[in-house]
Amino acid sequence: MGSSDFLQVFSYFLANVSDIAHPWAYRLHCHSCMSPYLEDQFQFISHLYRRPLGFTEKCDHGHFDSQYVHSKNCTDACITLRMNDRVGGRRKFGFMRGCLSDIIHHNRTAVRFGELSRTTKTGANICTAIRLRDLFVSSDRYGFDPHDHVDLCACIRSDCNFAQRRGFINFLPFFGLLICSLFYLLPKRILNNQTNILKNICNINNNNNYEEEEEEEINKIIKIKKKYINVKQRGRRKEEKEYY
């Protein structure tokens, strides 16, 4: 989605959502905050953005936590703005969350789109990178560089301008993989255990059979020896009788 298309999306919001006749207009709650480093710089950007309800690192994308971020009533749309700044010569991302109206003097060209109507009613986030020159009316007086831009998302569902914490996001694939592995390995392991148990039983039976066979062989040998001894004794007795 290009900058001009996104401005048309905003125009739809302004033309259709900000009308106070809508029964849910006053019930739209949006998170309101800014990154903490922007508090020291706010005097330089106060002509562009309204002051949020708080400056906290819990507003940033990777650390967002709604427990530490206040919400405010909005009559237009919830927005998340990521600023591409340089602080001390290093690149830094600053975040702003709030109402669409918190962007002062933004472009208000009134254009309506039926397709966008169906999209925004689902509460989906619409995001794009947009030049600051295109975002603000009479931007020439602000001295924006042609390459200065922000990443902007808008939605019309209460508290929809949130972000999931990075640690939780990173943990989900691992947790899913762990569950899948358990489902795959557990039956196999049980089967292997059952197989090993059967093998042990067979080995015990084989050992018992072997011991029984060995015992039978020994008994046969003992019987043969006894017969040989008896025959030999009979022969001696016969010889003694003949001698006398």
- Same domain, yes or no: 154 and 217: no
Q: How far apart are CA 120 and CA 5, in angstroms?
A: 14
Q: Which residues, including other chains, have CB under 8 Å from residue 103's CB and lie 6 or more apart? A: 48, 49, 79, 81, 135, 136
- Asked whether the whole model's pTM tops 0.75, one would answer no
The distance between the two most distant Cα atoms of the chain, rounded to a whole number of Å, is 152
The dihedrals phi and psi of 146, each to the nearest 5 degrees, come to: -55, -25
CA dihedral 8, 10, 13, 19 (to 10 degrees): -110
Closest C-alpha among 82, 236, 49, 47 to residue 161: 82
Q: How far apart are CA 223 and CA 106, in angstroms?
A: 113
- Same domain, yes or no: 118 and 214: no
**Contact indicator for 80, 92 with CB cutoff of 8 Å:** no
Q: How far apart are CA 94 and CA 166, in angstroms?
A: 16
Beta-strand relationship, 78-87 and 71-74: unpaired
| The total number of structural domains that make up the chain | 2
Instruction: State the burial class of residue 139 (Cβ atoms within 10 Å of its Cβ: 0-12, 13-18, 19+).
Output: middle
- Same domain, yes or no: 115 and 200: no
- Same domain, yes or no: 63 and 154: yes
| 168 in a structural domain | no
Q: What is the pLDDT along the chain (244 residues), one digit of tens a residue?
A: 555 565 555 555 554 444 444 444 557 899 999 999 999 989 999 999 999 999 999 999 888 998 999 999 998 889 999 998 877 777 888 999 999 889 987 766 522 333 334 445 555 678 888 888 888 877 677 778 888 888 988 888 889 998 865 544 444 555 555 555 555 555 555 545 555 655 565 555 555 555 566 667 666 666 666 666 666 666 666 655 555 5
| 180 in a structural domain | yes
Q: Which residues, including other chains, have CB under 8 Å from residue 227's CB and lie 6 or more apart? A: none
pLDDT of residue 96: 94
Q: How far apart are CA 219 and CA 161, in angstroms?
A: 90
- Same domain, yes or no: 138 and 184: no
pLDDT of residue 59: 93
- Same domain, yes or no: 140 and 199: no
Last residue of a domain, one of 163, 195, 215: 163
Token output for 121 = 């009613």
Q: What is the DSSP letter of 21?
A: T
**Contact indicator for 75, 65 with CB cutoff of 8 Å:** no
Q: Give the number of residues written for the chain.
A: 244
